[in-house]
């Protein structure tokens, strides 16, 4: 008489984490989202244009009113070349937050999609990794397009600018993971105003449009706490080809933020759905 046995679980995470939390099927969540957007590709493509419009506005309009500014390492650079990496970092942040808050809230509260997923072998950590993975994939496509336009305009100052794409993926991962955690605490659509209340100061005051030195000394340390600031500093250094050890600190900050967000989001999913 044949005896059915469970297939051995492979991989480090599969051996360490309990099957109720992680089953190694996060790619199924990613595939489901990809197939959904394949039928609504106009919504996907439209996200490419907003940062490009900003870039063209600075190139053709406001950028002509501002001369050269001091960039990474103290070197002079055009204002458009200074702003463009900040816009790319902000674009990665906004795209990740859009996917991990508004879209995820609908799937969590109204479509009850994750309840159905957890009725299968998929666990909370699979869901968190799958949703973050989609945000990273979407951010990568947007970033490659934006960097292509920057290159045509002659804005990058070094081949190191190619690393802006993985840097954008890291920014998207960090903000997506934190966005998922935040949305699990929301109870109504009106509470998204709180998220917008945080995003707007991040966009305006994280040195997107002007250097850190313009702030009073007592405010600069607050700005340096902002996660978008670290993303912009990383992007700006790569674009200019001026590398420093401080950029390693920017990477470490974003990696830590992503790790904390993924862990916390899986715990929140487990608390909300595995009851």
Question: pLDDT at position 230, please?
Answer: 96
Domain of residue 243: give its range.
Answer: 42-273
Question: pLDDT at position 8, please?
Answer: 47
* Residue 175 covered by a domain: yes
Crossing angle of the two packed helices 26-38 and 124-152, in degrees rounded to 10: 50
Compute the distance between CA of residue 270 and CA of residue 46 in angstroms, rounded to an integer.
33
What is the three-class DSSP state of 76? strand
Question: pLDDT at position 71, please?
Answer: 82
Compute the distance between CA of residue 100 and CA of residue 132 in angstroms, rounded to an integer.
8
Question: pLDDT at position 224, please?
Answer: 93
* Residue 3 covered by a domain: no
* Residue 10 covered by a domain: no
Number of domains composing the chain: 1
Confidence (pTM): 0.83
Q: Could you write out the DSSP letters of every residue in 219-269?
A: HHHHHTTSHHHHHHHHHHHHHHT---HHHHHHHHHHHHHHHHHHHHHHHHH
Question: pLDDT at position 217, please?
Answer: 85
Question: pLDDT at position 15, please?
Answer: 44
* Residue 228 covered by a domain: yes
* Residue 128 covered by a domain: yes
Compute the distance between CA of residue 172 and CA of residue 140 in angstroms, rounded to an integer.
9
* Residue 179 covered by a domain: yes
* Residue 220 covered by a domain: yes
pLDDT, averaged in runs of 10, over the chain (275 residues):
45 47 75 76 66 75 73 84 90 83 84 82 83 83 83 87 92 91 87 87 89 88 94 94 92 95 85 71
Question: pLDDT at position 18, please?
Answer: 44
Whole-angstrom distance between the N-terminal and C-terminal Cα of the chain?
Answer: 38
* Residue 242 covered by a domain: yes
């Amino acid at each position: 008489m044949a005896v059915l046995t469970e297939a051995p679980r492979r991989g480090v995470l599969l051996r360490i984490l309990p099957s109720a939390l992680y089953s190694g099927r996060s790619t199924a969540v990613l595939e489901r989202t990809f197939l959904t957007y394949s039928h609504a590709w106009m919504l996907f493509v439209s996200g490419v244009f907003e940062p490009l419009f900003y870039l063209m506005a600075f190139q053709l309009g406001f950028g002509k009113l501002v001369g050269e500014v001091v960039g990474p390492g103290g070197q002079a650079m055009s204002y458009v070349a200074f702003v463009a990496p900040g816009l790319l970092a902000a674009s990665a942040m906004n795209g990740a937050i859009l996917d991990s808050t508004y879209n995820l809230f609908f799937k969590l509260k109204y479509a009850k999609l994750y309840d159905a997923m957890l009725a299968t072998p998929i666990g909370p950590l699979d869901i968190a990794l799958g949703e973050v993975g989609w945000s990273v994939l979407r951010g990568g496509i947007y970033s490659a397009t934006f960097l292509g336009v920057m290159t045509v305009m002659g804005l990058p100052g070094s081949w190191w600018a190619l690393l802006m794409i993985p840097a954008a993926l890291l920014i998207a991962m960090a903000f997506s993971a934190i966005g998922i955690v935040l949305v699990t605490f929301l109870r109504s659509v009106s509470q998204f105003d709180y998220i917008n209340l945080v995003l707007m100061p991040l966009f305006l005051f994280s040195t997107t449009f002007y250097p850190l030195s313009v702030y009073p000394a007592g405010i600069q340390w607050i700005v340096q706490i902002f996660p978008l600031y670290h993303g912009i500093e990383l992007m700006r250094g790569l674009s200019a080809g001026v590398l420093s050890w401080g950029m390693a600190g920017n990477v470490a900050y974003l990696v830590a933020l992503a790790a904390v967000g993924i862990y916390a989001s899986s715990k929140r999913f487990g608390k909300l759905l595995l009851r």
